[in-house]
Each structure stands twice: as structure tokens, then as C-alpha cells.
DNA sequence: ATCCCTCGAGTTCA
DNA sequence: CTCGAGGGAT
């Protein structure tokens, strides 16, 4: 377009443009169904900005362009409200929840028997929004309920919050003055993203989404708040005067019609058991939700019954917050111990005062490596927040620095291996610190355990306890020694009678019949996992050929680069390792033919399995895929053809959805391979 | 030289 | 599951 001046639009045209932008905001934030791309949305907003810049007479305070614009505040003034924002009584367990209902029924008679609304309890910041004639004029934090802080300029930057209410053609118009209550929160993914950025720029990490949301709302400069990905769910109003709304459920629908986001999981419950079921279902969904919740709020639906139930000094009798057991808990670091793995990697692990998190007692949490400890600045004696990452593995989130008394010494990686005393090394640019002593007893033991593990040689009944005993009794030093064991060797060991000893010996015997990839993997060469072992087996066809391979030949293989090639060549040139392979072969190890792909029906397809599979094991499924010429990968990318999701699928499922990868369930997978 | 996809290794608790 | 890093594509 040539740079000619556009004609001045009419007031109606500007208004139409605003409505269009508001509509898109509504679709996106309230209905969660975007109807235009971000780029299209931005284009509309930019056009409006240009018009308003050129013809200032069109500027209005409630225009979508006016989300940022107020100058930084001098601090926050206090807002005093006529109808206080009450807090809720808490219930921690089902009995307490039922007790609440008993009291309710006593207070209001049979009216309290049924008809509730159950809503997720957002873990965010409670705010009140005041709309005058449909325009947002004030926003405040809850504060003590009566007095809150005026955070209007900051709240205006939150896109999920309409600056103007919508007036549906049919249905109740909002009252002249409407105070909406709800929760400002930060989605988990956004929280993680900005924390990652903080980490990269070496800044302080935020403890959790709620604190980050609260901190964002209390920014002096609304420009800063505008950069924070905050969202909002409305759940109530200050007073229902001037409306015809007579129940909580109708209120939620009305809020939604007025253009305010309402949590779609909220549910009307006809009986107390429905509410209990809702709580339990939500607790299960909780780890998969894109935001944090800390419980369920159950309210009496009918406003008339609510009034009858009345309010105690600080909380209404007609509502209760039934909390979930915390997923994040505070505890103390008793010690930081350093473990040594089979490759000699030194891993610091925090020993914690046992604490219940998400239903289990946590007493250990990995701290990964020295950098990680440095980054989080965790010290022995600190109070720390612990959470179960991805549903399972405990993780130290951050120390509570305010509770650090005096000065605690910083953690330092030991200079010597805690097991064998050898001076440890940390190669330039690497995160791990290692003990270089190949003969370090813990490495020896680690290699033995790896050798017998599932996926490797797989000796059933030979676990880490028994390996420990065998090493201590000097019966086993290298994997080849397993094949020299007799029942009489085992019987003197703890918890070993003749029967179990015989079972172990039998299992050892059975393990002699294996496959080449498993055997190569079992050797425990650094960076040679199951996949690389398979590639090597495919290429060389025999262990002897692999043992004689040159570095050049190795690195020419697809999937093997310089690093791995050198690692393998170094390993195969060590006399002890060559002897180990000879001894194992002499002991009678034989290799089954690797099952070749029997069809090509899944050729070119890549599968990723995630979650708890109930109809088959992951190994079986992967074998089926390979048999049909397909590939089984461990992580989801845009190259993935299908993600097969079992129960409780976690981040991989999310990623699949984000990348638009097809997700199928176990049955669909079975149908696919049965054909 | 850089980015993206994978793989490998280490870890927790019931 | 998560992180770091190897390998290959661009």
C-alpha cells in the first residue's frame, strides 16, 4: 500500500473495531476457543492504536489499547470496601467436609441437604474488580478483606479481564455497579518459562506461580506487569443487588455472559456425595491441569439459603474450602550427601526432614550437580520447598532465604571421591564431577548391577542387595564371575536357603542365552545405551568384530559420533575388558538371532509410549512396533507419528498436543497392530 | 556454527 | 521424569 493518509474513520467504525478486539479477547480467555491467530489479533490491535494515535479524540479509558498507559504508581493506595471479601473455612479431610455440611443442615434445615456448586480453588491472588456502567474502574487485592490495595493499573494489563463488560442481546444486563471477585493466577507453563529465563540471565528464581502472580500484581510499573502472563477466573460478586440472579450457578453463567472468564471445571452438585466425587476427581486431574489449584470450594447454590445460613465473624457458613494435601511442602535440609554412580559421576543428594508431599513421604531429593546447587543456593540447614516434579520425583524448588539464620556455609563438591579417596575431576564445560578411578569399589559394584539389570543380561533375582553381598564376600569381581557361582557359594549368604540359591543359579544359567545388543549394552561402556548397542550389533553382527573395530569404522556408523567411537575404542583396547569378553564367551554366552522386522506396515512411523500402560508393557509394545518396521522413540517431537498414552500420561502428552501429534489410546494401538 | 532431536544416566517411593 | 550432551541436519 502506498503511504497515503487513511481517511478519518467514523466513531462507529472505531467502536466496531474495539468490539471486534473485545470479542476475540472473550473467545480466547473466556471461551478458550480462539477464532483468530495471534498475528491477526495483533494486527487489529495495532490498527486501533494507530487510529487513536492519529485522532486522539477517539481515545477512551476503556479502549483495549489502554491496558498499559498509567504512569508508574507511587505505591498503592488503600481501597475500603463496603461488602468485605470473606475468607473461607478450611477442611483438610472428608470428615471435616461432612462436618461442615452437618452444621449447615442444622442451621438451615433440610434446605442445606442438596444443591451445591463445586469449583476448583485456584492457587492465585484474590482480587475484586469494580465495574461502573460496565467499565472497569477499580481493582484491588483482598488485603484483610475490608481494606485492600488498589492495583487498578496493573490489573488493566491482564488480557483475560475485560475493560468493558459485554451486553448480551438477551439475558441480564450487568447492574450499574458490579464488583466481581475472582482469582488472578499464572499458568504453570508460563511460570516455568519465565523462571527458566531468570535462570539463564542469572537472576533470582521465583518460588512458585502464586508468589510470582502476587509479585507481578504489586509491581510499581504496570509496564512490568504487562509482560507477565497473568490470567483470571471470576467466581463471585460483592453483592447481587440490582440483579435478578438468585443462585451461584446462575451467577457463574451471568459472569461468563458479561465477558468474564469462569473456570469451566466448576460443577453443580445435587448431593453432598456428588461434591465429594468432584473433589476426588479433581484431585486426580490436578497434576495435569495447566495451573495450580489447592482444593475445591463448595458453596450452597441458592442465594436464599446462603442468606439463611449467614456468616460467622470472618467466613460464611454457606461455603467451605476443602483443600488437597499439599503438593509442595516446606522442610529442612539435614545434610547434602554425595553419591557415586557406576560411571563415577558424583551426585549430591539432599537428605531432608521427612515431609508429606502429594500423598507420599519424601526424605531425599536429588540436587543433580554442583551448578544446580550453586544456582538454587541450597545449603545444609536451610528450609526449602520440596515438590514432586512430574508427579513422582521429589525436587528441591528453592530455599526460603528469609528463614536462614546467620550464615550457613555454602556447599562445596568434595575434592576427593567419598568412596575411594581419588582426586575427582570436572572437565572444562561439563556439569558433572567424576571420580576417575575405574577400580573404585562403587563403580565396580555399579557395573555389576548394570550387567545383571533388566534390559541388559537380565538375571532374575539378582538385585543390588545380593550383588553387594557377593562383592563383600569376594565371590564376584567381574561380570564373568557370576558364571562361576555355585549353589554352595550362595547358601552362606543372608536370606539364602537352598531353594532360593538354586533359583539364582538357574537364572544365571538362563541368562547365558541372550542377544548381541543386550550383551553389548550390558558391558556398560559409557554413552552406549540400548539404542547405540542395537546400532552396533546391527553393524558388526558379532562381539568379536566390535572388539576389533577401529575408531574410524565406528564413527562412520549412523548414530555413532566421535565421542562414542573414542569411548568404545578406548574400552575395547583395555586388556581387562578384552579378557572379560573372552571369559564371558567362554562361560557359554550364546546369542539368539535378533528378530528381524517381519513386515513393513509401520515403516516410517515413530511411536512414543507414555503413561501407565495396562494392556501391555512398554517393552512388548516397542517390540511389536519394531517387528512391523516402525520405530519406538523415548521423547516426543514433530517427527513423532503417534503418541500412545496410557493412564496418567504427563508432559509427553502435553507436548504431543502442543505439537499437534496424534495421540491414541492403548486400544487404538492394539487395533493398529492387530491388522 | 547452530539448532533440534534423541539418547544416556541418574534419581524417588510404594 | 529431567537434565545434559552427543549426533546429525541445516
Distance CA A345, CA A322 (A): 45
> Is strand C less than 7 A from the beta carbon of A559?
yes
Q: Is residue A424 part of a domain?
A: no
Q: Is residue A344 part of a domain?
A: yes
Domain assignment of residue A666, yes or no: yes
CA distances from A389 to A183, A262, A631, A654 (A): 24, 28, 28, 15
Nucleotide whose C1' lies closest to the alpha carbon of residue A390: C1
Question: pLDDT above 90 covers what percent of chain A?
Answer: 21
Model pLDDT for residues A539-561, shown as the tens digit of each residue: 999 999 999 999 999 999 988 98
A6 domain residue, yes or no: no
Q: How far apart (Å, rounded) are the C-alpha atoms in residues A561 and A602? A: 28
- Cβ-based contacts (< 7 Å) between A 493-532 and strand C: 527
Distance in Å, residue A389 CA to nucleotide C1 C1': 7
Query: pTM of the full predicted structure?
Result: 0.60
Cβ atoms of A138 and A150 closer than 8 Å = yes
| Nucleotide nearest A392 (Cα, C1') | B12
- Any domain includes A78: no
Cα–Cα distances in angstroms (integers) from residue A287 to residues A29, A262, A552, A644, in the given order: 22, 20, 48, 19
Nucleotide nearest to A367 (CA to C1'): B11
Give the active site residues of A: 121
Distance between CA atoms of residues A517 and A646, nearest Å: 28
Question: For A264, which DSSP code?
Answer: T
Same domain, A496 and A526: no
Cα–Cα nearest to A331, from A407, A388, A406: A388
Instruction: Name the residue closest to the C1' of C3 by its CA.
Output: A368
Beta strands in A198-239 (DSSP E): 231-237
Sign of CA dihedral A647, A650, A654, A657: negative
Nucleotide nearest to A611 (CA to C1'): C1
Q: For A346-356, how does the pLDDT look when each residue is reduced to its tens digit (9 = 90+)?
A: 989 999 988 87
Residue A121 and residue A269 in one domain: yes
A634: nearest nucleotide, CA–C1' criterion: B6
In angstroms, the first-to-last Cα distance of chain A is 57
As a whole number, mean pLDDT of residues A357-367 equals 81
A558 touches strand C (CB under 7 A): yes
Please return the burial class of A86, using the count of CB atoms within 10 Å of its CB with bins 0-12, 13-18 and 19+: middle
How many residues are present in chain A?
675
Nucleotides on strand B lying under 7 Å from protein C-beta: 4-14
pLDDT the model gives residue A32: 64
Domain boundary among A480, A511, A542: A511
The count of C-alpha atoms lying within 13 angstroms of the C-alpha of A409, restricted to the half-sphere facing its C-beta, is 5
> Does residue A660 or residue A21 have the better pLDDT?
A21
A366 C-beta less than 7 Å away from strand B: yes
Residue A90 has pLDDT above 80, yes or no: no
Write down the residue that cell numbers 520425583 correspond to: A393
| Domain boundary pick from A403, A425, A454 | A403
Say if A428 falls within a structural domain.
no
Which residues, at least 6 apart from A670, have a Cβ–Cβ distance to it below 8 Å? A615, A616
A506 touches strand B (CB under 7 A): no
Whether A544 and A659 map to the same domain: the answer is: no
Digit-coded pLDDT (tens) for A378-421: 899 888 888 876 556 788 888 888 788 888 888 888 889 888 88
Q: Which residues contact A439 (CB under 8 A, 6 or more apart)?
A: A420
CA of A634 to C1' of C8 (A): 18
Same domain, residue pair A333 and A317: no
Contact between residue A537 and residue A530 where contact means Cβ atoms under 8 Å apart:
no
Assess if residue A434 is contained within a domain: no
> Does residue A457 register a pLDDT over 60?
yes
DSSP notation for A425-491 = B--TT-S-EE---TT-HHHHHHHHHHHHSTTTT--TT--HHHHHHHHHTTS-SSGGGGGG--HHHHT
Please choose, from the candidates A474, A463, A580, A591, the residue with its C-alpha nearest in 3D space to the C-alpha of residue A524.
A580
Protein residue nearest nucleotide C4, by CA to C1' = A431
Residue nearest to nucleotide C8 (CA to C1'): A559
Instruction: Give A662's pLDDT tier (boundaries 50, 70, 90).
Output: confident
Dmax (CA) for chain A in angstroms is 100
Please give the pLDDT value at position A172.
67
Residues A59, A109 share a domain? no
CA A323 to chain centre: 20
Asked whether strand B has any atom less than 7 Å from the CB of A520, the reply is no
Among A6-15, A139-148, A469-478, A598-607, the range of highest mean pLDDT: A469-478
Give strand C nucleotides closer than 7 A to any protein Cβ.
1-8
Alpha helices for A55-146 (secondary structure H)? 94-108
A118 and A232 part of one domain: yes
CB of A528 nearer than 7 A to strand B: yes
Which three cell numbers mark A51?
A: 487510529
Share of chain A above pLDDT 70, in %: 91
User: A15 exposed, middle or buried (CB, 10 Å; 0-12, 13-18, 19+)?
Assistant: middle
Query: In terms of domains, do A563 and A637 share one?
Result: no
A575-580: list long-range contacts, CB under 8 Å, 24+ apart.
Answer: A576/A478, A577/A523, A578/A547, A580/A478, A580/A479, A580/A480, A580/A523
Average pLDDT over residues A441-464: 88
Query: Domain of A466: which CATH number?
Result: 1.10.150.20
Whether A497 and A570 map to the same domain: the answer is: no
Output the distance from A419 CA to B13 C1' rounded to whole Å. Answer: 25
For strand B, is any atom closer than 7 Å to the CB of A331?
A: no
Domain tally, chain A:
6
Is the Cβ–Cβ distance between A128 and A308 less than 8 Å? no
Nucleotide nearest to A528 (CA to C1'): B8
Do A172 and A303 have their domain in common? yes
Give yes or no: residues A106 and A125 share one domain: yes
**Looking at residue A519, what is its pLDDT?**
93
Contact A278, A296 (CB under 8 A): yes
* pLDDT of A3 higher than 50: no
How many Å apart are CA A320 and CA A116, to the nearest integer? Answer: 11
- Does a structural domain hold residue A46? yes
Confidence class of residue A569 from pLDDT cuts 50, 70 and 90? Answer: very high
Tell me the residue range of the domain where A301 lies: 89-323
Q: Is the CB of A560 under 7 A from strand C?
A: yes
pLDDT of A72 reads 47
Judge if A500 and A396 occupy the same domain.
Answer: no
Question: Is the distance between the Cβ of A605 and the closest atom of strand B smaller than 7 Å?
Answer: no
d(CA A119, CA A279): 9
Rounded distance in angstroms from the CA atom of residue A645 to the C1' atom of nucleotide B1: 38
CATH number at residue A647: 3.40.50.10190
**Considering chain A, what is the average pLDDT of its residues?**
83
- The span from the CA of A473 to the CA of A486, in Å, is 14
B11 C1' to A159 CA distance, Å: 40
Instruction: Evaluate if the CB of A392 falls below 7 Å from strand B.
Output: yes
- The answer to whether the C-beta of A389 is closer than 7 A to strand B is no
At A83 the pLDDT is 81
Amino acid at each position: 500500500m502506498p503511504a497515503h493518509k487513511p481517511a478519518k474513520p467514523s466513531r462507529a467504525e472505531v467502536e466496531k473495531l474495539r468490539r471486534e478486539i473485545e470479542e476475540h479477547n472473550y473467545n480466547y480467555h473466556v471461551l478458550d476457543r480462539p477464532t483468530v491467530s495471534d498475528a491477526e489479533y495483533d494486527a487489529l490491535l495495532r490498527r486501533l492504536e494507530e487510529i487513536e494515535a492519529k485522532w486522539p479524540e477517539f481515545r477512551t479509558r476503556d479502549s483495549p489499547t489502554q491496558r498499559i498507559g498509567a504512569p508508574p504508581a507511587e505505591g498503592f493506595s488503600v481501597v475500603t470496601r463496603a461488602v468485605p471479601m470473606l475468607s473461607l473455612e478450611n477442611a483438610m479431610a472428608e470428615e471435616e467436609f461432612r462436618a461442615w455440611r452437618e452444621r449447615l443442615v442444622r442451621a438451615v434445615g433440610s434446605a442445606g441437604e442438596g444443591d451445591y456448586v463445586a469449583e476448583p480453588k485456584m492457587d492465585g491472588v484474590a482480587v475484586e474488580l469494580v465495574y461502573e456502567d460496565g467499565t472497569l474502574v477499580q481493582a484491588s487485592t483482598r488485603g484483610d478483606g475490608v481494606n485492600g490495595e488498589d492495583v487498578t493499573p496493573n490489573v488493566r494489563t491482564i488480557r483475560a479481564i475485560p475493560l468493558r463488560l459485554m451486553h448480551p442481546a438477551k439475558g441480564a444486563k450487568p447492574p450499574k455497579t458490579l464488583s466481581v471477585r475472582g482469582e488472578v493466577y499464572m499458568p504453570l507453563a508460563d511460570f516455568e518459562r519465565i523462571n527458566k529465563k531468570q535462570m539463564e540471565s542469572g537472576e533470582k528464581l521465583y518460588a512458585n506461580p502464586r508468589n510470582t502472580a502476587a509479585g507481578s500484581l504489586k509491581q510499581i510499573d504496570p509496564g512490568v506487569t504487562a509482560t507477565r502472563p497473568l490470567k483470571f477466573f471470576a467466581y463471585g460478586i460483592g453483592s447481587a443487588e440490582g440483579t435478578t440472579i438468585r443462585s451461584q450457578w446462575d451467577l457463574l453463567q451471568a459472569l461468563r455472559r458479561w465477558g468474564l472468564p469462569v473456570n469451566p471445571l466448576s460443577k453443580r452438585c445435587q448431593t453432598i456425595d456428588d461434591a465429594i466425587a468432584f473433589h476426588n476427581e479433581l484431585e486426580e486431574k490436578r497434576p495435569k491441569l495447566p495451573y495450580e489449584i489447592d482444593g475445591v470450594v463448595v458453596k450452597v447454590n441458592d442465594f436464599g439459603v446462603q442468606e439463611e445460613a449467614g456468616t460467622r465473624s470472618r467466613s460464611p457458613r454457606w461455603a467451605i474450602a476443602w483443600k488437597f494435601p499439599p503438593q509442595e511442602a516446606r522442610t529442612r535440609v539435614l545434610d547434602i550427601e554425595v553419591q557415586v554412580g557406576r560411571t563415577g559421576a558424583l551426585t549430591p543428594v539432599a537428605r531432608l526432614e521427612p515431609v508429606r508431599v502429594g500423598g507420599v513421604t519424601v526424605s531425599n531429593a536429588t540436587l543433580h550437580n554442583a551448578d544446580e546447587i550453586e544456582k538454587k543456593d541450597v545449603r545444609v540447614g536451610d528450609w526449602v520447598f520440596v515438590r514432586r516434579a512430574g508427579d513422582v520425583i521429589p525436587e528441591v524448588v528453592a530455599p526460603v532465604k528469609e528463614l536462614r539464620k546467620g550464615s550457613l556455609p555454602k556447599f562445596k563438591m568434595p575434592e576427593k571421591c567419598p568412596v575411594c579417596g581419588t582426586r575427582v575431576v570436572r572437565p572444562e564445560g561439563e556439569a558433572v564431577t567424576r571420580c576417575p578411578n575405574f577400580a573404585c569399589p562403587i563403580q565396580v559394584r555399579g557395573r555389576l548391577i548394570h550387567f545383571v539389570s533388566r534390559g541388559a543380561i537380565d538375571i532374575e533375582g539378582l538385585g543390588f542387595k545380593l550383588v553387594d553381598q557377593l562383592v563383600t564376600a569376594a565371590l564376584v569381581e567381574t561380570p564373568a564371575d557370576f558364571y562361576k557361582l555355585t549353589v554352595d557359594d550362595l547358601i552362606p549368604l543372608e536370606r539364602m536357603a537352598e531353594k532360593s540359591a538354586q533359583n539364582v543359579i538357574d537364572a544365571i544359567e538362563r541368562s547365558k542365552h541372550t542377544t548381541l545388543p543386550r550383551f553389548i549394552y550390558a558391558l556398560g561402556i559409557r554413552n552406549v545405551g540400548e539404542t547405540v548397542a542395537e546400532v552396533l550389533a546391527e553393524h558388526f553382527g558379532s562381539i568379536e568384530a566390535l572388539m576389533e573395530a577401529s575408531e574410524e569404522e565406528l564413527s562412520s556408523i549412523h548414530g555413532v559420533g566421535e565421542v562414542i567411537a573414542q569411548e568404545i575404542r578406548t574400552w575395547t583396547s583395555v586388556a581387562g575388558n578384552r579378557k572379560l569378553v573372552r571369559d564371558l564367551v567362554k562361560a557359554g554366552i550364546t546369542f539368539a538371532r535378533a528378530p528381524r522386522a517381519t513386515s513393513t506396515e509401520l515403516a516410517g512411523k515413530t511411536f512414543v509410549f507414555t503413561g501407565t500402560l495396562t494392556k501391555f508393557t512398554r517393552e512388548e509394545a516397542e517390540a511389536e512396533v519394531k517387528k512391523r518396521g516402525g520405530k519406538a522413540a523415548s521423547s516426543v517431537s514433530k517427527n513423532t507419528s503417534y503418541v500412545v498414552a496410557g493412564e496418567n500420561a504427563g508432559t509427553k502428552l502435553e507436548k504431543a498436543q502442543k505439537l499437534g501429534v496424534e495421540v491414541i489410546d492403548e486400544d487404538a494401538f492394539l487395533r493398529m497392530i492387530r491388522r
